[in-house]
Each structure stands twice: as C-alpha cells, then as structure tokens.
Amino acid sequence: MIYTVTFNPAIDYVVHTDAMTVGDVNRSSGEEIYFGGKGINVSMVLKELDVPSRALGFLAGFTGTAIEQGLQADGIDTDFVHLDAGFTRINVKIKAGTETELNGRGPEIPAEKLEKLFQKLDALQDGDTLILAGSIPSTLPSDSYEQILKRLSGRNIRFVVDATRDLLKNVLKYKPFLIKPNHLELGEMFGTQLGTTDEIIAHAEKLQQMGARNVLVSMAGDGAILLDETGGTHICGVCRGEVKNSVGAGDSMVAGFVAGCETGDYAHALRLGTAAGGATAFSEGLAKRPLIDSLLRQLGETQQ
C-alpha cells in the first residue's frame, strides 16, 4: 500500500477575472474549487493511474470535512487525524493576467494530534511506500519528517520525500527511496547555481552519497534527470503542450514515478512521471489519465 501524508491540506479557490483593481469591487468571470495539498495531489494522480493509496494528514472544521468527503467520493481511501479546533485552510488564487495567491495559515496542530498521526504510521507494513511531501506547518516541530523516518527506520518501507533544503538533507541518513528536488533547489542545497547537465548530475550524485537511493531532478522546460539506485543515469525531455497551470505538476511527477516503479523499470518510471507532470501543467487542474497516456506516447512509449 502507498500512503501519502499532507500536513497542511487546503481547498484551492481559483478565481478568474479580466482585471483586478485593488481597493475596488472585482467580479469573477469563472471559479473552480480543488482539494489541495502536495500529498493529496499525489494520491489523486495515483488514482488516475489505477494505483491505490491512502491519504493521511490533518483536517479541521467544515473545510476539512469537505476535503475528506470529496476525496472519498473520488474513490481515494482516507485516514486523516481530525483536529478539535480551527478549520483547514482555504487558498485563494486570483488569475487576472498575472496570478495572485493568498494562502491560508491552517489550524494549530497540538502535540497529541501529531502523536496520533505517528501511531497511524506505525501500522505500515514491510513493502509499503510512504510519501512525505511539502513543508511542515509552523505549529509543528521542524524535524517532524525526521522523527517519522527515524521511527520507521529499520523496516522494509520505501520512503519518498519531496521537500527542500535542510528538511530534505536531514532525512538522507535514513536512505529514502526517492527524493525529487528541482535543479534550483538542488543548487540551493549546496550553495551554488547549476547551469549544465553535468553539474546537475554531479550534485545529484552527492545526494546519493549522502543516502538517497534514487534522485529525480526536475528541470522545468528542460525535462528531468534521474539517477537510479542501480547506478543508471536517465534523461527525459519535456512534453510538448500549452502550459496552463503551475500547481501540482511536481506532485504529479512523483505520483507517475512511483506508479511506474511498480514495473521495476526506472526509465519507464521517469517517462511516466514526466508525462503525469506535463499533463497537470497542461490542464486547469490535476492530470487526467487520457492526457497522461497521450503524453507518454509522445515520449515514445505506451502505458505498461
């Protein structure tokens, strides 16, 4: 079973308007609502790829109830910790030529609720995959990811960590199955700017030396590079299409890669991850299966 953890889920309220004037009444030309949060995004794209997962994390209030009911209606298994106070955040995204975002803070998460999440994770079995994605809310200890991996270390559980900087560096000693920095984040981790493919590969190798088994580096319009645990290096070009959306493409890439790993073919996993990420970038919301399959064919193969 694959488990995803989202510490700070959100309802994304997307508003379209021709123009926005600060300090005046503005009217929308259209709205959409999406259930968001990086781990939730991964679970939703896994569902599109017919790979079951269980979504965990924290929910509160009427907005939390809406997210949980919405995910369950889409056929996604959930096991969230419910908070007694506050409400799950709402992120407002205003698209008016340029995009403006106002992201909510999210509810307070007391220590006993964090421990309840830890206890749920204790039930993971050998062979399970745990995906930790995104930042840690300010109300939680900054080493929460590290605490989780330490608690579960020594068991045959595949850890996938999609985080940045020290949050990522500090878990490398637990030998995560997959990490996914982009090329800018990879450079930041080593205090440098990476301009060439050789430089990116060299610094990804450093992360492997620090403990990561597979390092997937996304490079925006330049595709992606994977250094796999068998010593292979794979490079995949970018999909062709009109970019409509910047939210969730990286999460979709993680979902596609994890789904592709079921075949044991890392080159295929990279292409499926690239196709899933592209399908989200070319859509108003998260990737849907028909477009993923179309982009996978564009990359030179069919879904396995």
Catalytic positions are: 251
Q: Where are the beta strands (DSSP E) in the chain?
A: 2-6, 10-16, 30-36, 53-59, 77-78, 81-82, 89-96, 98-102, 129-133, 158-162, 178-179, 214-218, 224-227, 233-236
The answer to whether the CB of 247 falls within 8 A of the CB of 40 is no
- Who's near 25: CB < 8 A, 6+ residues apart? none
Q: Considering Cα of 147, then 149, then 153, then 157, what sign does the dihedral take?
A: positive
Q: Is the dihedral of CA 67, 40, 57, 108 positive or negative?
A: negative
Asked whether 226 and 234 are in contact (CB, 8 A), the reply is yes
